[in-house]
Amino acid sequence: MEPEPRVVLIVDDDAAVNRALSRAVRSLGFSVHAFESGEALLASSATQSPAILLLDLHLPGVSGAELISVLQASAPGLRIVVMTGRDVAGAREACLAAGATSYITKPISRRDLSALFDG
C-alpha cells in the first residue's frame, strides 16, 4: 500500500493562481487545500499536518507577513514558502526573519515547486 500523499496548503487571493498552483502541486503527487485568504486558512483545521504552505505575501485582510507570525505560534512545524509577484526591498529578509523557510517570486514553475518539495 502506497503512503498517503502529503498535503500542500496554498493561500493566494488570485483564483487563477490558486488553480494553476493546485494543478502543478497535484501533478507532483501532493494533496492540495487552496484558500483565497489568510482568514480562510485560519478558520480551517488544515494546518494540522501539511508538508508545506505556499503563501502569497500581498493578501487583503491578514497579510502574508502577519500570517507567518500567527502560524509560527499555532503550527510551529509548518514549512512556509512566501511567494510574491511584487518583490519589494526588505520583504525577503523580513519574511525569513519572521519564520518563513523560503521566499520565491512569481511566476513559479513546476521545476521550482519540485525543488521546494525536495528540500
Block means of pLDDT (10 residues each) for the chain, 119 residues, are: 72 96 94 94 84 91 89 88 93 94 93 85
Q: What is the spatial distance between Cα 65 and Cα 82, in angstroms, rounded to a whole number? A: 9
CATH of 7-118, one of 3.30.379.10, 3.30.230.70, 3.40.50.150, 3.40.50.2300: 3.40.50.2300
What count of other Cβ atoms lies within 10 Å of the Cβ of residue 8? 26
What sign does the dihedral 68-60-94-7 (CA atoms) show? positive
Q: Give the helix/strand (H/E) hosting 55.
A: strand 52-56
Q: What is the domain partition of the chain in residue ranges?
A: 7-118
Determine the pLDDT at residue 46: 85
Q: How far is CA 54 from CA 1, 2, 3, 81, in A?
A: 28, 25, 22, 5
